[in-house]
Structure 1
């Protein structure tokens, strides 16, 4: 079993004992998403550490998007709740790269791979995503790669 999954379960137990409703419900939803990912597909399998991180990153992204949607609709209370849930889950992900660090990685990967021009966007994104390894938002990475390739 992945250590991240074990940590989620242990933290869920702690949150339940502390009667922390937000953390309890958020961790339950996260563990349900992990379980769903394990049983999806043709055969059930145990997720690796990286796969659990991907599931959590997807859940954080969902919470951020929902928070933005609620805020745009004028529902501040729900927006705050979704934002708080996203923050709880983000604590389980690797530290996100800063803008300068991300730009340096993108520049190095593009130079090392000899990528240039807009037609190289797909292979360049694949190489950069491998180097970034989930430590930055995909949309942010794509925008930076596109700017570097077209600029």
Structure 2
């Protein structure tokens, strides 16, 4: 069993005992996502698959926050931000900009990319080596700057 699944179970139990309803609801949402992974039938639920699922959940919350803010519903945006904070507590820390820049330069050198049209090849090399550790949006921005795109 995945370490994240075990951590989730322990934190869910603690939140329920503490009668912390918002945290319990957020943890149950994550638990539902992990159960979906089990039902997909693509083998064992690993930490890597859980992290991918958590990143999807976080992206959904970010999109919801943007929608709520544009609709002037700050109350609902705050609920989504609270859920994002819970999701973040299960995600590994992503590399900072300096580390990402170093990895981008390594990926460009390894792939031989020379211009913006070859960014996909270099991005593939970066993600293959550091997928769980790098923010894709930040990497894309740095690639564009480095390759002149």
Deviations 1:56-102 (A, max 9, x none): 11111111221121111100011111011101111111112212221
Per the normalisation by structure 2, the TM-score is: 0.90
| Distance in 2 of aligned mates of 1:110 and 1:25 | 43
Q: Look up the match of 2:26.
A: 26
Match for 1:65 among 63, 66, 69? Answer: 63
Q: Look up the match of 2:103.
A: 105
Residue 147 of structure 2: SS of its match in structure 1? helix
* Structure 2: runs of 5+ lacking an equivalent: none
| Distance in 2 of aligned mates of 1:77 and 1:12 | 24
| Distance in 2 of aligned mates of 1:45 and 1:10 | 23
Q: Does 1:96 align with 2:110?
A: no
Over the aligned positions, Cα root-mean-square deviation in angstroms equals 1.6
| Distance in 2 of aligned mates of 1:87 and 1:58 | 14
| Distance in 2 of aligned mates of 1:124 and 1:108 | 9
Q: Aligned residues, how many?
A: 149
Q: Look up the match of 1:129.
A: 127
Q: Look up the match of 2:81.
A: 83
Q: Look up the match of 1:38.
A: 38
Per the normalisation by structure 1, the TM-score is: 0.89
* Structure 1: runs of 5+ lacking an equivalent: none
